[in-house]
């Protein structure tokens, strides 16, 4: 059974142990993510399946983020994607951006499933680990 709830920093710490960017996570950034009204946690029966949300950079523009448990089942991933898409659909920001490490095929597929469009294929040395990234954007239809 999947439960969607408001994101709390305690939910992400177990996920960051498995995340390639986990060592770059800063407590203040996690707190800022938790302050966002657009942040959710997807809970399974025995684990935090995913955490996701949007951090607003300024009025009308935000950046999407997500973290996934590496052992999430197919059904948990499908339910999580649906919950994240509903959350993005409810987000009133006119522009939401997402960056994906250039070699992360699952991340590229997820961005497209969530309604993002590729805006910039190659942002050189963009990520904290020095890797290149692709920029995706999701625009409100009326904005």
CB atoms closer than 10 angstroms to residue 125: 9
81 vs 127, higher pLDDT: 81
Model-level pTM? 0.87
Q: Quote the tokens at residue 117.
A: 């469009």
Residue 104's pLDDT is 92
Domain ranges for the chain = 3-139
Ordered alpha helix ranges (H), 17-133 = 27-35, 74-90, 105-113
- As a whole number, the mean pLDDT across the chain is 89
Domain 3-139 sits in CATH 3.40.630.30: yes
Residue 10, pLDDT score: 87
What digits encode the pLDDT tens for the residues 27-52? 777 888 888 999 999 999 889 999 99
pLDDT value, residue 27? 74
- Rounded Cα gap, residues 65 and 54, in angstroms: 6
What is the C-alpha separation between 27 and 23, in angstroms, rounded? 11
63 vs 70: CA distance, rounded Å: 22
Q: Comparing 10-14, 78-82, 107-111, 112-116, which segment has the lowest mean pLDDT?
A: 10-14
Measure the CA–CA gap between 30 and 10, rounded to whole angstroms.
9
């Amino acid at each position: 059974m999947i439960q969607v709830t408001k994101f709390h920093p305690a939910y992400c710490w177990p996920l960051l142990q498995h995340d390639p960017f986990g060592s770059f996570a800063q407590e203040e950034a996690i707190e800022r993510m938790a302050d966002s009204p657009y942040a959710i946690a997807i809970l399974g029966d025995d684990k935090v399946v995913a955490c996701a949300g949007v951090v607003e950079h300024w009025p009308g523009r935000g950046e999407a983020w997500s973290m996934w448990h590496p052992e999430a089942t197919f059904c948990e991933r499908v339910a999580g994607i649906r919950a994240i898409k509903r959350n993005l659909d409810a987000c009133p920001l006119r522009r939401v951006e997402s960056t994906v490490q250039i070699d992360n095929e699952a991340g590229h597929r997820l961005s497209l499933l969530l309604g993002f469009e590729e805006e910039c294929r190659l942002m050189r040395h963009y990520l904290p680990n020095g890797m290149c990234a692709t920029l995706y954007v999701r625009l409100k239809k009326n904005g």
